[in-house]
Structure formats: structure tokens, C-alpha cells
Amino acid sequence: MVQRMPAQHVEIHQPRDPSTFSNYNAWRTKHITVNLEIDFTKKILWGNVVLKLKRLGGAGTENGKVVLDTR
């Protein structure tokens, strides 16, 4: 069994999902745009995702940092 210790600089806000260190409760997703290209011959998928977020007040939003995940 592998156990990982949380990074010391990560601020966790309650309530939270125990499977992530993201600050998802400090932001709301307003829109997601996914741009993907598929190469079936090479079995490759590549592209990007653009997130439009709204900052919520409260803990974790002071520095404007979005933490998508660190695990």
C-alpha cells in the first residue's frame, strides 16, 4: 500500500472531498471548452481545456490561486 503525505503548503478548506487537494469550494465553473484532436492510427488524443471560473468569497480565494489538483 502506498501512502502519500500531503504537501505542507496546501491549504485545505472544509468541507472537502478527501480524494483531492484542489480548492474547488472557492471557485464555480461557469463554462468549459474542450478542444481535442484524435489520431486513431497512432492512438493519440491531444488538445486543451479552457475553464471559465468565478471566484467565490471566503477562504482560499485571497491570492486568486486555482488549485485543480495535486494528487
Q: Cα separation of 47 and 23, whole Å?
A: 24
pLDDT score, position 32: 94
Q: Is the pTM of this model over 0.85?
A: no
Q: Cα separation of 19 and 9, whole Å?
A: 17
CB 59 within 8 A of CB 26: yes
Residuewise pLDDT in 10s, the chain (71 residues)? 556 665 555 555 566 677 888 888 888 889 999 999 999 999 999 999 999 998 887 655 567 888 888 65
pLDDT score, position 30: 92
Whether omega before 18 lies within 30 degrees of 0, making that bond cis, reads no
pLDDT score, position 8: 59
Question: How many residues does the structure list for the chain?
Answer: 71
pLDDT score, position 55: 87
